[in-house]
Amino acid sequence: MDWSHFTPWSSLIGGCVLGVAASALILLNGRILGVCGILASVLRRDSAELPWRLSLLAGLVVAPWLLHALAGMWPAQLQLPAPRVPASWPRLAIAGVLVGTGTRYANGCTSGHGICGLARLSPRSAVATFAFMASGFGTVFVMNHLLFIG
Amino acid sequence: MASSPSSTATQVLTAFAIGLTFGVGLLLAGMTDPGKVLAFLDLVGPWDPSLAFVMGGAIGVAFLAFRHAVRRPRALLGAAMQLPTLRAITPRLVLGSLTFGIGWGLAGYCPAPAIVNLGVGQPQAVVFTLAMLAGTALFDALERIAPQRWIVRVPAKTAETH
C-alpha cells in the first residue's frame, strides 16, 4: 500500500462530482457523458450534436483554471499535488494511439462504460470495464515487474 | 430530429458547465495525475487504491440519475432521451476494451483527464491527445478497409454514443 499518496476523501468527493456531471448530462440534455465518443464525433463533425459536444470539451479544458482560481481560498495542505507523468514520449504516443483506436472499437472508455454504463447496470459496459481494467493491471504488471521499465 | 434539438443555447451552455464540473471532479479525484492512475493499476507494487473510491462515488451518484432517466422519454431541456441500445457482447467490444486498457496502463491517461491537462498546456497531454486523435482516425480508416470487423452490423443510428 502507498499510504503517502492514498487520498480516499478527495477521490470519493471527486468521484461524486463526476457522478453529478454525468447525471446532469443525462437528465438535462438526455445524453451519455462519454468523453472519447464526444471527442471522436467532433473529429467527424456530426452536425446537430457538434455545438454541445465542443462546449463540453471546452469546459473540460477550462476546469484547471477554475480550480486554480478557487485554490487561493483554501489552505495549502489541501492543494492538489503536481501531476506525475512517468511515461516517455514514444510511450505516450503509442499509448494515445491504442486508447484512441481501442475506445472506438469498444464504443466507450472510462467515462462512458466505467461510470455511465456501470451506473445503468449495463452488462456490456461491465464486460468492457472488466476488460480494460484487466489489461491495464496486466500492462502495468508487465512494465513494472517483468520488464522493469515502469 | 427537429422536434428535439440537442444544441439549443441553453443545452450548449449546460454542456459547458457539465464539462467544467466533470473536469473539476477529475482534478479533485486525482484522475488527472497519470502517476496516481499507474499506482492504482500496480496491484503488486506500492498500491494506491484511491481510484476505486472515484469509481464508487461516481457510479453511486449516477446510478440514481439513470434510474430516473430510463423512465423519461425526454430530457428536462427537451431533447429526446438517448440511452445506449446496444446489448450484444462482441469480440469487438472486448478486444477494443483490452486495447484501450493497454494504452491506459502504458501512460496513465484515459481520454478525459488528458483533455483536462491540455488546459494547463501539459506537453505530455498534448502528445497523448494528438496520438489519441490519430488512433481515432486509424479506427475510421480501418472501418473503411474492413468494415465492422468483429461485429454484427449495427446501424449507425442505434450505435452507442459514448
pLDDT digits (tens, 9 = 90+) for B70-98: 999 999 998 999 999 888 999 999 999 99
Q: Which residue has the cell 480494460?
A: A132
Residues B157 and B101 in one domain: yes
A30: which 3 cell numbers? 438526455
Question: How would residue B149 be classed by pLDDT, with cut points 50, 70 and 90?
Answer: low
> Could you tell me where the beta strands, DSSP code E, fall in A8-147?
none
Taking the Cβ of residue A6 and every Cβ of chain B, the question of whether any pair is shorter than 8 Å is answered with: yes
C-beta atoms of B81 and A30 within 8 A? yes
Residues B9 and B33 in one domain: yes
Residues B101 and B156 in one domain: yes
Boundary-marking domain end, from B83, B106, B122 = B83
Instruction: Please name the residues in contact with A12: beta carbons below 8 A apart, sequence gap of 6 or more.
Output: B53, B54, B56, B57
Residues B14 and B49 in one domain: yes
Cβ(B107)–Cβ(A95) below 8 Å: yes
ipTM (interface predicted TM):
0.93
C-beta atoms of B57 and A16 within 8 A? yes
Residue B99 backbone zone (phi > 0: left; psi -120 to 50: alpha; other: beta): alpha
Question: How would residue B147 be classed by pLDDT, with cut points 50, 70 and 90?
Answer: confident
Largest Cα–Cα distance in chain B?
54
pLDDT at A32: 95
pLDDT at B1: 43
pLDDT digits (tens, 9 = 90+) for B10-55: 999 999 999 999 999 999 999 999 999 999 999 998 899 999 999 9
- Domain containing B124 equals 85-162
Taking the Cβ of residue B58 and every Cβ of chain A, the question of whether any pair is shorter than 8 Å is answered with: yes
Q: Which helix (H) or strand (E) holds A22?
A: helix A8-24
pLDDT beneath 70: ranges in chain A: 46, 74-79
Residues B68 and B1 in one domain: yes
Share of chain B above pLDDT 90, in %: 73
Nearest to B111 by CA among A44, A96, A59: A96
Q: Which residue has the cell 471522436?
A: A40
Residues B89 and B157 in one domain: yes
Residues B156 and B79 in one domain: no
The count of other CB atoms within 10 Å of the CB of residue B63 is 16
Boundary-marking domain end, from B83, B101, B130 = B83
Residues B13 and B70 in one domain: yes
Taking the Cβ of residue B141 and every Cβ of chain A, the question of whether any pair is shorter than 8 Å is answered with: no
- In order of A25, A36, A98, A102, A135, the CA distances from B133 in angstroms are 24, 10, 10, 12, 21
pLDDT at A135: 97
Taking the Cβ of residue B91 and every Cβ of chain A, the question of whether any pair is shorter than 8 Å is answered with: no
pLDDT digits (tens, 9 = 90+) for A24-63: 999 999 999 999 999 988 888 767 889 999 999 999 999 9
**How far is residue B101's CA from residue B91's CA, in Å, rounded to a whole number?**
15
Residues B104 and B76 in one domain: no
Residues B11 and B56 in one domain: yes
Boundary-marking domain end, from B48, B83, B118 = B83
Residues B62 and B108 in one domain: no
Domain map (residue ranges) of chain A:
8-146
Residue B81 backbone zone (phi > 0: left; psi -120 to 50: alpha; other: beta): beta
B75: which 3 cell numbers? 430530457
Number of structural domains found in chain B: 2
**How far is residue A117's CA from residue A108's CA, in Å, rounded to a whole number?**
9
Taking the Cβ of residue B84 and every Cβ of chain A, the question of whether any pair is shorter than 8 Å is answered with: yes
CB < 8 Å from B in window 55-114 of A: 55-67, 80-81, 83-87, 89, 91-114
C-beta atoms of B44 and A144 within 8 A? yes
Cβ(B98)–Cβ(A134) below 8 Å: yes
Task: Please name every residue paired with B74 in a beta bridge, in sequence order, or none if there are none.
Answer: B80
Nearest to B28 by CA among A54, A16, A50, A4: A16
Q: Which of A28, A32, A60 sits opposite B77 (nearest CB)?
A: A28
- Decide which of B5 and A37 is more confident: A37
Mean pLDDT of chain B: 89
Instruction: Please name the residues in contact with A88: beta carbons below 8 A apart, sequence gap of 6 or more.
Output: none
pLDDT at B115: 96
Question: B19 exposed, middle or buried (CB, 10 Å; 0-12, 13-18, 19+)?
Answer: buried
**How far is residue B155's CA from residue B139's CA, in Å, rounded to a whole number?**
17
Best of A1, A3, A13, A28 to mutate (most B CBs within 10 Å, chain B): A28
Q: What's the mean pLDDT in B104-122? A: 95
